[in-house]
């Protein structure tokens, strides 16, 4: 195979329909919009319009609430921390801080802090300092002989 023989699979690309380009094109003059009426005009957005009937999105009940200032945590499972220690990406002897987790690549960004959850097994003795942790995560780390310290006001939930 040579560079000049490279081409996409048949049917993978489709040419753009150029409307309003004369009678020979098949979509000339009215450009496939028909004659007159609201849909033939430009600037029409009648996506949710149901001809005077109450639209579906208004008939359905609204429930719930999204807190605008809620905190969003980067979530880490204990099993993953253990996996990264086994792979020697995290030093188990040193304190495992949020920066250490960031440098190892276990989390992509801190967001409003890091929260540790108890999914997975912990075998090594860990010293973890993070923003938040679940009660079961704290118990699991202490059972393995380590300590999990929650640094901010948010206590173990």
Q: What is the pLDDT of residues 58-99, one digit of tens each?
A: 999 999 999 999 999 999 998 888 888 888 888 878 888 888
Query: Has residue 21 got a pLDDT over 80?
Result: yes
Q: What confidence score (pLDDT) does residue 47 get?
A: 78
Q: What confidence score (pLDDT) does residue 8 get?
A: 94
Helix axes 135-143, 78-86, angle to 10 degrees: 40
Contacts of 117 (CB under 8 A, 6+ apart): 75, 76, 77, 78, 133, 134, 136, 137
Domains, the chain, in order of start with CATH, read 74-150 (3.100.10.10)
Give pTM, 2 decimals. 0.54
* Stretch 44-70: mean pLDDT: 87
Query: Has residue 152 got a pLDDT over 80?
Result: no
Q: What confidence score (pLDDT) does residue 153 get?
A: 53
Query: Has residue 155 got a pLDDT over 50?
Result: no
Count Cβ atoms within 10 A of the Cβ of residue 64 and give its class: 0-12 exposed, 13-18 middle, 19 or more buried. Answer: exposed
Could you report the per-residue pLDDT of 91-133, keeping only the tens digit for each? 878 888 888 888 888 889 888 989 999 888 888 888 888 898 9
Q: What confidence score (pLDDT) does residue 28 get?
A: 92
């Amino acid at each position: 195979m040579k560079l000049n023989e490279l081409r996409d699979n048949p049917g993978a690309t489709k040419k753009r329909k150029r409307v309003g380009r004369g009678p020979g094109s098949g979509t000339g003059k009215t450009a496939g919009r028909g004659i007159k009426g609201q849909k033939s005009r430009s600037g029409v957005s009648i996506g949710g319009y149901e001809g005077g009937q109450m639209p579906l999105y208004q008939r359905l009940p609204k429930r719930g609430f999204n807190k605008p200032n809620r905190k969003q945590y980067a979530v880490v499972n204990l099993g993953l921390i253990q996996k990264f220690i086994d792979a020697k990406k995290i030093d188990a002897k040193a304190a495992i801080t949020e920066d250490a987790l960031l440098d190892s690549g276990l989390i992509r960004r801190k967001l409003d802090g890091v929260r540790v959850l108890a999914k997975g097994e912990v075998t090594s003795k860990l010293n973890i300092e993070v923003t938040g942790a679940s009660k079961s995560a704290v118990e699991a780390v202490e059972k393995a002989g380590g300590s999990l310290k929650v640094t901010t006001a948010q206590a173990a939930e």
